[in-house]
Structure 1
């Protein structure tokens, strides 16, 4: 692993706790994050909502202050591209894809990054939301891989895949490891390869 030469890191760094979005679609956003990520409102009003899906008091906050405007070119403006949520197992991750598909919620981007297998959705405001599973089933192993693998350095974005081909592979009895390896080898490519990873415009 390359030596970390940074000298200004805190000895006890804080942990990432939540992300806050501004929105003019409060009810839609609350419902969407409930469906996709299992986030339930701890507090909700027309002006603000705090939502969680674990023991934390909130993981996503939504604010709707007076005078708020929609973005003009969100997909090509700087800022957060997406937030990410992780499932502990491949089966949980794929079952969630199937559940959302059956609700008519489909990803706009699907990538095997090596460190994760990931499907990307857009919330009602066009923010990206990644739902992932660790490609190694272990953070220590995936951390080692991202830091040292020439494969990742050469292609950090990863390999596109068709999630329906992944579903079929599991139905045929393939293990997560085998599916992951075959995905990395390009065996489950979608019919159309996206030209970029920009957020699609929803306005």
Structure 2
């Protein structure tokens, strides 16, 4: 039996009386201590708030730490292979971060690419335009920007049935996205499904977008 869903007119306005003030931080145990610090500092432009031989606090805003990295013995590096495979089938799949706008998201993409980090998957889920990455231990992160400016627009899109037909997304080319954004193409246009894709190339959407890498 399907669980009852939130009424569409409550989207964007509903707030549980038990809703936390904020998500405070993410804690990562790793045998790739310095690699992890570099990855998260690059992704978020984070600064080190405190560090010693055992752990490191990273912050990217007013909070004293948004990411804590705990150093584990080097032999435990082998466990990261099981982590990469295991999360594809069970447990927490990923953690998602929302950015202010498409320009900011693509600045992160440009920064990560320059540092040698590859995007695992660039897709438009309909609700959001997203980039997926994995940290040095295979923990997956989703970086996203909302596609709709208002709850009303989102409600209309849900009601259209498009999300029911394809709730996985339509892939986009992040290099082309960045190029078109710099050329002045409006964000609203680039956040439509099917945008920023090479002309004449078959689109990758829905289940066709799922493979061992993107799973």
**TM-score (norm: length of structure 1):** 0.78
Cα distance, 1:36 vs structure 2: 1.2
Q: Is the 8 A contact 1:43 1:51 kept in 2?
A: yes
Which residue of 143, 154, 163 maps to 1:131?
Answer: 143
Provide Cα deviations, 1:6-25, integer angstroms capped at 9, x if missing partner.
xxx96232232212111011
Q: Secondary structure at the match of 1:188?
A: coil
Whether the 8 Å contact between 1:89 and 1:137 is mirrored in structure 2 is no
Within a 5 Å distance, the mapping from 1:154-173 to structure 2 comes to 154-173=165-184
Q: Which of 80, 86, 101 is the equivalent residue of 1:89?
A: 101
**For structure 1, which runs of at least 5 residues remain unmatched after alignment?**
none
Aligned to 1:115: 127
Which residue of structure 1 lines up, in the alignment, with residue 52 of structure 2? Answer: 45
Match of 2:12 in 1: none
> What is the aligned length?
194
Alpha-carbon spacing, 1:55–1:129, altered in 2? closer, same or farther (3 Å): same
TM-aligned CA deviation for residue 147 of structure 1? 5.8
How far apart are 1:117 and its partner, in Å?
Answer: 0.9
Over residues 143-189 of structure 1, what are the superposed CA-to-partner deviations in whole Å (9 max), with x where a residue is unaligned?
A: 646865522232222111111121232244311111122xx136616
Q: Does 1:185 align with 2:185?
A: no
Does 2:39 align with 1:32?
yes
> 2:202, 2:137 → 1: CA distance?
27
Q: Which of 58-67 and 25-34 deviates more?
A: 58-67
Aligned residue among 8, 16, 21 for 2:23: 16
1:36 to 1:67, Cα distance in 2 relative to 1, 3 A: closer
Q: Secondary structure at the match of 2:95?
A: strand
**Structure 2 spans left out of the alignment, 5+ residues:** 8-14
How far is the alpha carbon of 1:195 from its aligned partner? 5.1
User: Match for 2:117 among 97, 105, 120?
Assistant: 105
**Residue 196 in 1 paired to residue 210 in 2?**
yes
Deviation at 1:3, TM superposition (A): 4.1
Preserved contact between residue 94 and residue 140 of structure 2 (Cα < 8 Å): yes
